[in-house]
A and B are shown apart, each in its own frame.
Chain A
Amino acid sequence: MSPPLFQTRAHSNGSTANDVQILQTATSLELLAVAAYQAALGLLFIADGNAVVRHFAETTMSQHNGHADAFAAQTKSLGGEEQARPNPEYVAVVEETKPKPTGPAEVVNLASTLKTVATENYPANLALLEDRDSKGLFASVMGVECQHLATLRAVGALLAAGDAGIALIAIPTNVAKLPKAAGSVAFPAPFESTTMASPPEEGAVK
């Protein structure tokens, strides 16, 4: 007898467990981001620096908190345990880097690295989820996380351009003076890579 070819939506305990792990790992990455932005906002050159960079750090931290709460709630709705700790794979990187930054460019570079992991995590693990509501939540958060990454890439490029670039980190900016690369640096490829994505179990509750 042939197996049912499209019988892939039924929820087995295994798929639910995998969904829970993915949601816990997503939560851990959000909590990591919150910790990183908290640390960044404690740095004088961020707290008293460029107003847009500071606003971005504050707003993004708040958005990550919202994402973490949503993932935690979804984890519990599937019968899983809420992840309350930051991602163990990358928390050490943040801790090690905390005392080192001497300017906003280094902070933005670290944030870009962490954000790349988070952004690539979504399309990769989205395909592994079985629960439809969890997929919807993932897609919604992914649509925001990738914008954080785009912004960080653009801000990083402007910071690297020196005073002239820093002056353009403003809302509204002077579009006429933006360097040509500002039109493409935020999205270097038409399809986001998934090579830095976290495996489902990386941030699971042990």
Chain B
Amino acid sequence: MTDPTSSDSGNPLSRGTSRRSFFVTTGAGIGFLALASCSNDTKTTSSSGTTAGSTAASATTTASTQKNVDVETAQLAAGLEVLAAGTSRAALDVATAGKLGAVPPAVEEYVTTAMAHHRAALDKWNGVLTGAGETAVTEPDATLKPIVDDAFSKVTDVNGAAALALMLEEIAAATYQKAVPTLTSKDAVTLAGSIQVDDAQHVAVLLFVSGQYPVPEVFAKTDKAAA
């Protein structure tokens, strides 16, 4: 069976779509570039305007921590998107091979659409990472990969595939939701929030397809967030 979590280097959407257009349309790269450049800035200033000694060290630590929060979130998010896109690809492959039985048209359409969305999200995060001088993420989240691999190996039908997809989308939506209040760049907040919306909508449709009410909670929770 195809490895569901391998990186998808052949993804046409992951090549060049969109770093430039993302910068143009949202300016998200600017915030991250600022973060990167600030991390190399040795001149520091305290909140009271005093420069020197422990205060400067404290400000440097703060700057470094804040830089790490946004970059680390982007890296985590990108790893999740690699995982989600790769799992979707693998699900389509086994479905096409007839290993899941009859696949309803709506389910095939869902998987195709969700895969494209995750690839687009991956492009965004890698765009801001490379724009900030960081390395693009091409490997799936290492913590979740073995869990998803194990679950995928047990999938034998469409219902099982939907349950796995639901698990992944719930994790992704919760991860973005948990990250949003911690992010320091407004562009990062908007991007993470926008992807949270999309992933939560995937969850709603998967719940409906699974025979459950699509909006079961009054407030979305973060207990399934990846760390």
- Name the residue on B nearest A193 (C-beta): B194
A154/B208 in contact, CB under 8 A: yes
B214/A176 in contact, CB under 8 A: no
Determine the distance from Cα of A57 to Cα of B141 in the docked complex, in whole angstroms: 38
Q: Which residues of B contact A7 (CB under 8 A)?
A: 47
B204/A178 in contact, CB under 8 A: no
Q: Which residues of B contact A136 (CB under 8 A)?
A: 180-181
Q: Which residues of B contact A8 (CB under 8 A)?
A: 184
- Contact flag A151-B204 (CB < 8 Å), given A122-B193, A182-B109: yes
Q: What's the A-B contact tally at a CB cutoff of 8 Å? A: 201
Q: Which residues of A contact B41 (CB under 8 A)?
A: 2, 5
Determine the distance from Cα of A21 to Cα of B63 in the docked complex, in whole angstroms: 29
Count of chain B residues with Cβ under 8 Å from any Cβ of A?
68
Q: Distance (Å) between the CB of A42 and the closest chain B CB? A: 22
A-B contact pairs, 28 of them (CB 8 A): A1-B45, A2-B43, A3-B45, A4-B46, A5-B34, A67-B218, A67-B219, A122-B197, A123-B193, A128-B186, A132-B182, A135-B180, A136-B181, A139-B220, A143-B173, A143-B200, A144-B200, A146-B197, A147-B204, A148-B215, A151-B208, A151-B215, A154-B205, A172-B211, A183-B106, A184-B112, A187-B202, A189-B198
Query: B residues bordering A, Cβ < 8 Å?
Result: 34, 38, 41, 43-47, 49, 51, 59, 62-63, 66, 102, 104-113, 116-117, 120-121, 124, 158, 173, 176-177, 180-182, 184, 186-187, 189-191, 193-198, 200-205, 208-209, 211-215, 217-222
